[in-house]
């Protein structure tokens, strides 16, 4: 089998049906781009679980009276609360943050939002006990034990907030994959139609080749490679789109939560490994399978 002949046939087929080829490439690129976006969301969730999994705290917020008058937590009932927390068998570490310290941390975290800083007063931030638990799964015990104690305004399990946030990200991922699946169906139909049209326009020359002894694989391989090449181009465009969206949109929109350490930054390496190889592999596999099935079912060459 001559490689130069097969290559020329592939290029001829792509040029001959240029509008359908472009539509097939773009649809494939959008589908793969959405799949890649979903994979990046999954990696983001995994990074956040790794970063925060062992650092999830339970916060015990004091009421306004104690927060404003007992900055050192030396008087009752603050001292009693502190002692009880330090002696609690579920608590590994207790750290007290008074109102002044809470306000300074607030200013550091939201340094990029001057409007929010102007609207927030120190008195609005309560004194807080930050608790690191021996077993994060026992956070509900701490919440139930200390929620109604005198001097305590509320008890917050950060794990619940993180799970809700992960739930939102999972919802975004699922919605992205649903749209990707719809686009993938459109891409498969376009691949199938393109192969059928390409085979129909070259039916005479293919028939002559069969008459002089060419095998079925020899005549069908160019059509199969057309689909694979279009899929590969779509995968390259999808990766390029992810890189562009990261640099132009994601890094700018999420700059503040990323700098505050709330959301992990998506690195270029996250796109090029393993997302890009996955997209290329999916493009080759789906294009090849669709092309093969189409040739076997609809094209008699």
Quickly list DSSP for 42-97: HHHHHHHHHHHTTT-EEEEEEPHHHHHH-TT--STTHHHHHHHHHH-TTEEEEEEE
- CATH number of this structure's domain 64-150: 3.30.70.3040
pLDDT in tens, 236-277: 999 999 999 998 888 887 777 777 667 788 888 889 988 999
Task: Report the DSSP beta bridge partners of residue 152.
Answer: 62
pLDDT in tens, 189-242: 888 887 777 766 665 565 555 566 556 666 677 778 888 888 899 999 999 999
Q: How far is CA 185 from CA 24, 32, 77, 190, in A?
A: 11, 12, 65, 9
- Name residues whose C-beta falls within 8 Å of residue 167's C-beta, 6 or more positions apart in sequence: none
Using CA atoms, how far apart are residues 221 and 284, in angstroms rounded to an integer? 14
Nearest CA to 152 out of 128, 122, 121 is that of 128
Under a CB-based contact definition with an 8 Å cutoff, are residues 226 and 194 in contact?
Answer: yes
Using CA atoms, how far apart are residues 256 and 251, in angstroms rounded to an integer? 9
Q: How far is CA 232 from CA 205, 238, 286, in A?
A: 27, 10, 11
pLDDT in tens, 24-76: 888 899 999 999 988 888 888 887 777 665 566 889 999 988 988 888 899 98
Task: Report the DSSP beta bridge partners of residue 128.
Answer: 61, 97
Grouping H, G, I as helix, E, B as strand and the rest as coil, residue 274 is helix
In the numeric block, which tokens belong to residue 213?
A: 């002894």
Q: How far is CA 85 from CA 39, 56, 78, 80, 133, in A?
A: 41, 17, 11, 9, 11
- The DSSP symbol for 135 reads S
Would you say residue 82 has pLDDT above 60? yes
Domain with CATH 3.30.70.3040 in the chain: 64-150
Using CA atoms, how far apart are residues 17 and 10, in angstroms rounded to an integer? 11
State the pTM of this model: 0.69
Using CA atoms, how far apart are residues 203 and 14, in angstroms rounded to an integer? 16
**Cβ-based neighbour number of residue 21 at 10 Å:** 21
User: Residue range 164-175: average pLDDT?
Assistant: 83
Residue 299: what pLDDT? 58
């Amino acid at each position: 089998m001559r490689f130069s002949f097969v290559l020329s046939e592939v290029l001829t087929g792509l040029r001959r049906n240029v509008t359908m080829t472009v539509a097939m490439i773009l649809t494939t690129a959008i589908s793969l781009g959405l799949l890649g976006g979903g994979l990046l969301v999954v990696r983001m969730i995994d990074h956040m679980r790794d970063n925060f999994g062992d650092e999830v705290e339970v916060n015990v917020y004091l009421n306004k009276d104690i927060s404003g008058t007992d900055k050192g937590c030396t008087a009752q009932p603050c001292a009693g609360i502190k002692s009880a927390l330090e002696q609690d068998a579920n608590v590994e570490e207790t750290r007290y943050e008074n109102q002044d310290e809470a306000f300074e941390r607030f200013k550091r975290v939201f340094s990029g939002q001057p409007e929010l800083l102007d609207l927030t007063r120190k008195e609005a931030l309560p004194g807080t006990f930050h608790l690191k638990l021996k077993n994060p799964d026992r956070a509900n015990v701490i919440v139930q034990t200390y929620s109604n104690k005198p001097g305590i305004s509320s008890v917050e399990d950060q794990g619940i907030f993180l799970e809700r946030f992960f739930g939102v990200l999972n919802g975004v991922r699922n919605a992205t994959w649903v749209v990707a699946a719809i686009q993938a169906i459109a891409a498969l139909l376009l691949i199938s139609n393109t192969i059928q049209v390409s085979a129909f326009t070259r039916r005479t020359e293919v028939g002559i080749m069969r008459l002089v002894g060419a095998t079925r694989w020899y005549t069908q391989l160019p059509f199969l490679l057309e689909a694979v090449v279009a899929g590969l181009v779509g995968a390259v465009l999808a990766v390029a789109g992810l890189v562009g969206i990261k640099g132009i949109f994601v890094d700018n929109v999420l700059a503040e939560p990323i700098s505050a350490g709330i959301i992990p930054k998506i690195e270029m390496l996250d796109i090029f490994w393993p997302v890009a190889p996955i997209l290329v592999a999916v493009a080759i596999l789906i294009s090849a399978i669709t092309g093969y099935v189409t040739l076997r079912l609809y094209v008699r060459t």
